[in-house]
Chains A and B, each alone.
Chain A
């Protein structure tokens, strides 16, 4: 599986989230996104869930995190309002 990398370490919020969502917009169905970030992006996870993505998190020894994100298979397209 091909992989795209977003290095958002030591960027000011919400830049990491902006870059991640922009990368997801162009992510192909057979691709995964690897997000490198200096703190756990709690606000990102509910969006990923609602948009049909799955993820795993891995804590690195230097205190940063690697979040692997991919589009869940057989999920109905989500485009409608989630919350306003």
Chain B
């Protein structure tokens, strides 16, 4: 990481810590696809349908949330420059609570089980708030010039705010008490979740990852210094501004402009990359940024022509572009860098200086597999968008494509973790016979 001293190997958590998050996450997306198959076109009748809320949270918490939690817990000691206290136990605790909480929340919403929602409330709340506190406190020790750490802390604060709003809405749903501002709070909840938590995190990670892996020039210093704090303040200001429609609109236009600058800068930097070879990782980022721009364009069109915003499909199109297009694309691509690197790095450290050679990252995660899964993912994205506009014709093909894409992603991650287990066992045998 930028300006950080090297950390010693014993500061990095064991490989199983992040891998269990990454192996579980695609299964939640697969569950969402199966639900789509089961419910069919009726699911697209309203974004407030409980089954639709269940599907949305399978993707935002189950897929996006789990990968982000696992990846950040892996990165924390590196970004902060200091170890996390008892990483294995903290991660196991958060994993258990988060997975159980997501399962209860989504199950409770989809099958209308109020008891499951009541149990999900403290379980999921503890997991997410504990994680947000861990990130904010640990990254306090990072260097002030580390813009990734700063964006990550702001994103974690947004996660805490999103969670608190989500808990309020969930308790309203589970206990049925009267909440006058439910729709306003729900709007704030999804805006803070998607733009604050996911958006700021992706931007912060991009500052490091895009130049490092795509061999592009660095992001402009002014952008990395100001974008995340300005977006954070704009997002926070949405809460008091909700009583003033004019101010609310101005804030949202500024937010849209900020994210458009980020997406366009990333796409521009990609055109300047040193190696012009086709690359799965870069294409996932490119697809993600184009989805973000498409979402912004659609939102802007609805501001100019209000009739667009009044259509049934408008908010769901925005949701699919932001969740499946923007967030899931970039996360899917990131998994293909993080998982093989973790497996390779941990095998290298296990083998020691004079040990046998271990598979390289391309052998651990072959590009032939990742490229085909990427095309399946983007085809599923287009099919899902079509399914919102023409549910009867496209809902089943889109569910099958989306399910197949996530099943394939899961198989690719499982294959890499099996490579780790196999080579690790061989290294153990070699070490034992050498000893």
Cβ-defined partner of B9 (8 Å) among A18, A39, A42, A83: A83
CB-CB under 8 A from B9, the residues of chain A are 46-47, 50, 82-83
Contact B14–A84 (Cβ < 8 Å): yes
Cβ-defined partner of A25 (8 Å) among B14, B275, B357: B357
Shortest beta-carbon distance from A41 to chain B in Å: 8
Contact A52–B353 (Cβ < 8 Å): yes
The CA of A23 and the CA of B275, in the complex, are separated in Å by: 24
Q: Across the two chains, which residue of chain A brings its CB closest to B361?
A: A14
Interface residues in A23-64 (C-beta closer than 8 Å to B): 24-25, 39, 42-47, 49-53
Cβ-defined partner of B5 (8 Å) among A22, A25, A42, A80: A42
The CA of A44 and the CA of B212, in the complex, are separated in Å by: 15
The CA of A25 and the CA of B215, in the complex, are separated in Å by: 27
CB-CB under 8 A from A42, the residues of chain B are 1, 4-7, 78
Interface Cβ pair total, 8 Å cutoff: 83
Q: Across the two chains, which residue of chain A brings its CB closest to B15?
A: A84
The CA of A18 and the CA of B214, in the complex, are separated in Å by: 17
CB-CB under 8 A from B345, the residues of chain A are 14, 43
Write the B57-72 contact mask toward A (1 if CB under 8 angstroms, else 0): 0000000000000000
The CA of A23 and the CA of B198, in the complex, are separated in Å by: 40
Given the known A-B contacts A82-B350, A84-B350, are A43 and B6 also in contact in the complex, defined by CB atoms under 8 Å?
Answer: yes
Write the B208-251 contact mask toward A (1 if CB under 8 angstroms, else 0): 00001111000000000000000000000000000000000000
Contact B352–A51 (Cβ < 8 Å): yes
Shortest beta-carbon distance from B8 to chain A in Å: 5
Shortest beta-carbon distance from B425 to chain A in Å: 12
CB-CB under 8 A from B354, the residues of chain A are 77-79
Query: B424 at interface (Cβ–Cβ under 8 A)?
Result: yes
Shortest beta-carbon distance from A78 to chain B in Å: 5
The CA of A23 and the CA of B431, in the complex, are separated in Å by: 22
The CA of A25 and the CA of B12, in the complex, are separated in Å by: 24
Query: B360 at interface (Cβ–Cβ under 8 A)?
Result: yes
Shortest beta-carbon distance from A57 to chain B in Å: 11
Query: A12 at interface (Cβ–Cβ under 8 A)?
Result: yes
Query: B304 at interface (Cβ–Cβ under 8 A)?
Result: no
The CA of A79 and the CA of B275, in the complex, are separated in Å by: 37
CB-CB under 8 A from B180, the residues of chain A are none
Shortest beta-carbon distance from A36 to chain B in Å: 15
Given the known A-B contacts A42-B5, A50-B349, are A12 and B355 also in contact in the complex, defined by CB atoms under 8 Å?
Answer: no
Write the B1-37 contact mask toward A (1 if CB under 8 angstroms, else 0): 1001111111010110000000000000000000000
Q: Across the two chains, which residue of chain A brings its CB closest to B358?
A: A21
The CA of A53 and the CA of B352, in the complex, are separated in Å by: 12
Contact A18–B5 (Cβ < 8 Å): no
Q: A interface vs B, CB < 8 Å? A: 10, 12-14, 18, 21-22, 24-25, 39, 42-47, 49-53, 77-84
**What are 14 A-B interface contacts by the 8 Å CB criterion?**
A12-B214, A12-B275, A13-B212, A14-B361, A42-B7, A46-B7, A46-B8, A51-B353, A78-B352, A78-B353, A79-B354, A83-B349, A84-B346, A84-B424
Nearest 10 A/B pairs, CB to CB: A45-B6, A51-B353, A79-B352, A83-B9, A42-B6, A46-B8, A82-B349, A46-B9, A10-B274, A78-B353
12 further A-B pairs in the complex, CB-CB below 8 A; given A10-B274, A50-B8 = A12-B213, A13-B213, A42-B4, A43-B345, A45-B6, A46-B6, A79-B355, A80-B352, A83-B10, A83-B14, A83-B350, A84-B15
